[in-house]
Chains A and B, each alone.
Chain A
Amino acid sequence: MKTLAELQAIRDRMKDNVTMRSGSGSIRAVVGMATCGIAAGARPVLSALVEEVSKLDLGEKVTVTQTGCIGLCRYEPIVEVYEADKEKVTYVKMTAEKARRVAEEHLKGGKVVTEYTIGAAEK
């Protein structure tokens, strides 16, 4: 027999699982997953982002998804962060480690990790 409190616990535990299906969050983190991206190691980046978003409980706010070739193959793996009314942020030459920091500081904290962006890389 489950009490109301136990049911609420199940709801909270399962919520992450179904929020993905209620449409997209206000922030979209898009990983380039074309051949070039995969070859450069995009898959661990994607997995790290997904895990971190779940761990930081950002499921309702952030949608992690993939896209095809962005056209900057030499900078792969690339992660782009879209947020309504803000300029797109492009992170380049990502790794799983860097992805975790982006999740913590940018997706959660709202602060762009400037040193990983394409602007910093092109300097």
Chain B
Amino acid sequence: MYRSHVLICGGTGCTSSGSKNVRERLAEELKAKGLEEEIKIVQTGCFGLCALGPVMIVYPDGTFYSRVTPEDIPEIVEEHLLKGRIVTRLEYKEGAEITQPGTNVSLNDTTFYKSQLRVALRNCGVINPENIDEYIARDGYMALGKVLTEMKPEDVIQVLLDSGLRGRGGAGFPTGMKWKFARAYDNEQKYVCCNADEGDPGAFMDRSVLEGDPHVVLEAMTIAGYTIGANQGYIYVRAEYPIAVKRLQIAIKQAREYGLLGDNIMGTGFKFDIDLRLGAGAFVCGEETALMTSIEGNRGEPRPRPPFPAEKGLFQKPSILNNVETWANIPQIILKGAEWFASMGTEKSKGTKVFALGGKIKHTGLVEIPMGTPLRKVIEEIGGGIPNGKKFKAAQTGGPSGGCIPAEHFDIPIDYDNLISIGSMMGSGGLIVMDEDNCMVDIAKFFLKFTVDESCGKCTPCRIGTKRLLEMLEKITSGQGTLEDLDKMEELCYYIKANALCGLGQTAPNPVLSTLRYFRDEYVAHVVDKRCPAGVCKDLLKFTVDKEKCIGCGLCARNCPAGAITRTDYIAPGHKLASMEIDPAKCVKCGVCMGNCKFKAISKQ
């Protein structure tokens, strides 16, 4: 019996900020102090507060330490683990107050966690993902037991339909319907697939679930196998997620040892197994038909639907494909019931949603909120607001397939239908925050560049259409655009949306359309005034020296990589040296001079 558990995050975020060294140092230190029998070190998945990693939490008191370095470990062991004195300088307690004497702040009271509701992430940061017993201790595989012993496949489908669960991959199709269709097709061989090909720039929800709670995906897929009548499952996961892949392999091995995958699951005679397929990192393979084509061993290209995968999917057999986060909800729904799940969220969007917060925000990380939470709360409260006192300009949801939510919709409750109504979409959960220093035309260009690179080339509207669209955007950001281009661009957007073969192409113009809708004035400024209001688009920038402020120290000229700055013969009143000036023909607009000037004499326009 251990008297204390020290949980250290082993997710990708904290691993890259050095949590492995922290863990090793702690193990050494506990050994040196003879505490290894009393205190247990547990490596967990993501806690969510990635910006403050490596993070560590000490139970039973629940003290949360952030930005822990190996050098902090001796102090933590000596003070906290041995003497019970919290190392306050490392403690994270933003927004929380001590309410009960003799206790310290609870993690759940901090502003970051207070408004969150963890369903899909319930085990992330709580259990050791490489230990199946810890998953079982948190009611793991009990839902599968219940399904195999007490429920008929129709009952499972009914529970999912009643719960109102919709696909978390982005489109929001009701999960129960998908399973119902696949069950209805009569075939000896059917397949269950898991979409873990998370490709949106800045999104890491699925990765965190796989790293922190891999068994939940295995359990849910097995439930699906029983429900639709399949005996083989595939998890299609990106090869760029090495930690997730490793933990999935461990989890599959453990589940097979326990007979939770294999020929005779729990002695019920039901047979189901799961294999991994590693994706090479093509964005289009997140699209369901392309993903299945890739599993089959072919080049990852989409094909027309219908027939839908429920009828002819993987290897032309009836198949279902669900996203990692969707899977993570299912065992809980089986155990706690459809009503429990339907009690969370809004009328048409039930449950919770995981978001990966990124961009101009203080608490970069992973959050799970009930559907219907206002965007303002997510950004200002949970996310800690925008750093450096800047103003919120827009948030991008849905990555390259989504759109932006401007400040005028800051209070919108986040759910599937609300986001669609303002021209964005839920997407898989990337949420990128932008402030006044972001140029919206540049953002649209960024996402479009991504889709041009990732377009598989099978259909013309996507292959050529997105390329032409990008060229128009480049024309605008270089100051060559005309107002006519804006109208042409819009027309092309609608054409691509209507004619592209798969979801990638159909949604590719969304970032352009939504920025045009809400920030047309910025486009107009680029086209008419040849000016970038946010000061991002280099071709439209001009750096100038204010000759009255310049004291002539010459620091800018010494640091200019292009040799574009020279001395004039004008000496401003009160100064001893002649001021400097920038030759616009030589200037590469790197901004180094502006960063170096201590007198704020250089400005950009």
Instruction: List the interface of chain A (C-beta within 8 A of B).
Output: 1-4, 7-8, 10-11, 14-18, 20-24, 28, 30-35, 37-38, 46-47, 50-51, 54, 63-68, 80, 82, 84, 88
Contact = CB atoms under 8 A, between A and B. Distances in A.
Interface size class of B (residues with CB under 8 A): 35 or more
A120 B566 CA distance: 87
Given A11-B139, A20-B4, A31-B84, 18 more contacts: A4-B149, A15-B137, A18-B137, A22-B126, A23-B106, A24-B61, A24-B103, A24-B106, A33-B83, A34-B84, A34-B85, A47-B3, A54-B1, A63-B61, A65-B60, A68-B83, A82-B101, A88-B101
Contacts of A37: 83
Contacts of B258: 1-2, 7
B7 A38 contact: no
Nearest to A3: B267
Contact of B266 (A4, A15, A18, A64): A4
Q: Is the interface of B mostly helix, strand, loop or mixed?
A: loop
A7 B82 CA distance: 36
Contacts of A47: 3, 38
Interface of B: 1-5, 7, 38, 59-62, 82-85, 100-103, 106, 108, 126-127, 133-134, 136-142, 145, 148-149, 258-260, 262, 264, 266-267
Residue picked from B103, B137, B267, most chain A C-beta under 10 Å: B137
A2 B470 CA distance: 57
B126 A21 contact: yes
Contacts of A51: 1
A16 B133 CA distance: 12
B37 to A, nearest CB: 9
The 5 lowest CB-CB distance pairs between A and B, nearest first, are: A66-B84, A1-B259, A14-B137, A68-B85, A50-B3
B198 to A, nearest CB: 27
A46 B3 contact: yes
B280 to A, nearest CB: 36
Given A20-B5, A30-B102, A14 B266 contact: no
Contacts of A18: 126-127, 134, 137-138
Contacts of B134: 14, 17-18
A33 B102 contact: no
Contacts of B138: 18
B102 A20 contact: no
A37 B169 CA distance: 55
9 contacts: A1-B264, A7-B258, A10-B136, A10-B137, A11-B139, A14-B136, A21-B126, A35-B83, A67-B102
Given A2-B258, A3-B267, A33-B83, A64 B60 contact: yes
A33 B133 contact: no
Interface centre among A11, A33, A35 (most CB of B within 10 A): A11
Contacts of A10: 133, 136-137
B266 A7 contact: yes
A28 B100 CA distance: 11
Given A65-B84, A88-B101, A20 B264 contact: no
B142 A33 contact: no
Most chain B beta-carbon contacts within 10 A, residue among A17, A28, A67: A17
Contacts of B139: 11
Nearest to B126: A21
A18 B258 CA distance: 20
Contact of A11 (B4, B5, B136, B266): B136
Contacts of B266: 1-4, 7
Nearest to A18: B137
B108 A38 contact: no
Contact of A68 (B84, B140, B267): B84
Nearest to A54: B1
A32 B85 CA distance: 10
B9 to A, nearest CB: 13
